[in-house]
Structure 1
Amino acid sequence: MTATIRSFLTGSAGRQGLWLLPLAITLLIGIVLAIRSPLFLTHENLLNLVAQAMPLLIAAIGQMFVIVVGGLDLSVGSVISFTTAVLALGGPAYLLIPLVLVLAAVIGFTNGFVISRFKVHPIIATLAMQYIVLGLARILRPVSGGDVPRAVIDAVSGSLLGVPYPVFWGILIVALAWKLVHGSRFGLHLFAIGGGAASGTDDAARNFGVPSGRTVILAYVVCSCFAALAGIFLAGRIVSGDPNVGLLFELDAITAVAIGGTQLSGGVGSLHGTIIGALLLAILSNGMNMTGVSPFIQTAIKGGILLLVVGLQRRRKMGL
């Protein structure tokens, strides 16, 4: 009985990790907020909650790909800021949107190549990239401003048949990620490589014919492209380019992924768990904002949550 409860709490029973407990906590927080604040379930607040959660959800899903493979990407926030800066240059959407996705893919490829080929630790490689991309964003847009294409703004703030566009963003992003994780060989390779890394046998997947180097590079490319999508959404929402809008986004994304049961050592995790983790953080932030909790206290709470969920995860060696 004790082993069963521990398995439930730690998510050690399978490859999907801990996600039932975060789901229960998310529902509990939602119920408490609905009881304590009559504004929580209002139409306006729910729409605002969806819009607030969407960038984090997109960035967290992208981060999940590199964490499952046993990596980490600290350049996500800078990619988001850089994306908004490029989109605010004042060009047509049909040129700027493909441009930011290509640039994001180049950033992700560079991260993955340095990590897989030169064996640089993911934290060091992506931290260096974080500074590089952040510097470029501040060169392009020293302060907030610029002209975001109207098509980007309309894609975020409009609605179709009474359904806000952010809802469609969420459906499309989740469908794309689900296809990559569960409907492709790429998804299987991610878990194979991550499982080997978590157990200390980094060459296990390669010995079975899995192209580990190519898969790791592709995981970082996917992560950066999802960060660019989050940046596109944010640019449309704030209607400007902002070199600081992505600050600490990478930590929120990592926290959301970890809350959803993905082990930071790799090999264990799920898409639905990541979605739950992002929603939990979004609902928690929304509730604390409504109750007047200081942003500094909110940051401290997020750090405590990250430490707690990582501490619950089982690992065979010291490290992530």
Structure 2
Amino acid sequence: MNVQWSRWRKSPIFYPLIGFIVIFIAMALVNDNFLTSNNLSNVARQVSINAIIAVGMTCVILTGGIDLSVGPVMALAGTVTAGLMIAGFPPEVAVLAGLMVGALFGACNGTFVAYAKMPPIIVTLATMGIARGIALIYTGGYPISGLPNGFSFLGRGEVFGLQTPILIMLVVYVLAYVLLNKTPIGRYIYAIGGNEEATRLSGIRVSRYKLMVYTLSGTTAALAGIVLTSRLMSGQPNAGIGFELDAIAAVVLGGTAIAGGRGAIIGTLIGAMMLGVLNNGLNLMGVSPYVQNVIKGGIILLAIYISRSRDK
């Protein structure tokens, strides 16, 4: 029993899960409306967007990188998808094009990071501005509305009583879990973050897998942007502002080491849920958004401190 407990405590998701349970119970105790079915459903729907983005961000951070461009990329993918539907393209074609836009931006990030050997934070900061600028140019700074009713299924529909955004989130996490835990690609991603030089010397094409994770990050950001566009039934060029920070926060709170090499995709989901519950609970309590930022920042710092302490 002691051996099993010791092993469980060393799991990357141990502290995130404890943190989530504590925050969930605290919010339930301080506000009677928190545990209502409508509120919990609303939390899950809101969490789904950030959680989808955080999947790609997890893979990037596991390699020791960072992607600051996910917010603008989701806005660009959403506006491109909306614009194509307004132009008469079927929703399926428009969605595919939006995903390709995200993958293209991710691939550009990966190319500069993996092959040009540029710092990830500089590369993605630059493409962050580029993606946002293109979205604003494409839309003229105005939302694109009047989308076909059938497109709303991705953001507002239900499948067997489960909201579509939540279902999409769950499918993405299952696929990510398989990728990271059941395939050689996952082992290479962890190895690159653990010791990139040793991984390269062992014959692994590090640049190829770095390109892959940034492409994945762009694709998941685009998917989140399309789901958000469907929910709003409008392509918003200013969507996704600050979402990169929420995604990074979800990854860090989920127990992934900010330096890479250690973490779990399930922990990221827990981290996203923790943020969602915290935001919702504080809103129900009427806490000022400025105070909320201070609280969330403090929690993220604590999570990083705990992560670094465990690494030592």
| Dislocated runs of 4+, deviation >6 Å | 5-8
Give matches, 1:130-279, under 5 Å.
130-141=128-139, 142-196=141-195, 202-279=196-273
The alignment covers a number of residue pairs equal to 302
Assess, with a 3 A threshold, how the Cα gap between structure 1 residues 103 and 145 changes in structure 2: closer, same or farther: closer
The CA deviation at 1:87 is 2.0
- Conserved 8 A contact 2:82-2:94: no
TM-score normalised by length of structure 2: 0.91
The CA deviation at 1:316 is 12
Secondary structure of residue in 2 paired with 1:181: helix
The CA deviation at 1:178 is 1.2
Among candidates 107, 110, 113, match of residue 111 of structure 2? 113
Secondary structure of residue in 2 paired with 1:243: coil
Q: Paired residue for 1:294?
A: 288
For residues 133 and 7 of structure 1, the distance between their equivalents in structure 2, rounded to whole angstroms, comes to 44
Are residue 100 (structure 1) and residue 94 (structure 2) matched?
Answer: no
- What do the CA deviations read for 1:129-162 (whole angstroms, capped 9, x no partner)? 0000000011122123323343331122122332
For residues 231 and 117 of structure 2, the distance between their equivalents in structure 1, rounded to whole angstroms, comes to 38
Q: Paired residue for 1:70?
A: 64
Give identity over the alignment, percent: 37
- Conserved 8 A contact 2:44-2:166: yes
Secondary structure of residue in 2 paired with 1:283: helix
- Conserved 8 A contact 2:154-2:231: no
Assess, with a 3 A threshold, how the Cα gap between structure 1 residues 229 and 316 changes in structure 2: closer, same or farther: same
- Conserved 8 A contact 2:110-2:210: yes
Q: CA RMSD in A?
A: 2.1
The CA deviation at 1:6 is 12
The CA deviation at 1:167 is 2.9
Instruction: Name the aligned partner's letter for residue 190 of structure 1.
Output: I
TM-score normalised by length of structure 1: 0.89
Instruction: Name the aligned partner's letter for residue 166 of structure 1.
Output: P
Secondary structure of residue in 2 paired with 1:29: helix
Secondary structure of residue in 2 paired with 1:262: coil
Q: Paired residue for 1:60?
A: 54
Q: Paired residue for 1:199?
A: none
In the alignment, structure 2 segments of 5+ residues that lack a partner are: none
For residues 211 and 272 of structure 2, the distance between their equivalents in structure 1, rounded to whole angstroms, comes to 25
- Conserved 8 A contact 1:87-1:148: no
Q: Paired residue for 1:40?
A: 34
For residues 129 and 190 of structure 1, the distance between their equivalents in structure 2, rounded to whole angstroms, comes to 23
- Conserved 8 A contact 1:145-1:241: yes
- What do the CA deviations read for 1:162-217 (whole angstroms, capped 9, x no partner)? 23223312221111111211122111100011100xxxxx3210111111000000
For residues 283 and 182 of structure 1, the distance between their equivalents in structure 2, rounded to whole angstroms, comes to 27
For residues 7 and 34 of structure 1, the distance between their equivalents in structure 2, rounded to whole angstroms, comes to 30
Among candidates 68, 73, 79, match of residue 79 of structure 1? 73
In the alignment, structure 1 segments of 5+ residues that lack a partner are: 197-201
Secondary structure of residue in 1 paired with 2:19: helix
For residues 213 and 28 of structure 1, the distance between their equivalents in structure 2, rounded to whole angstroms, comes to 40
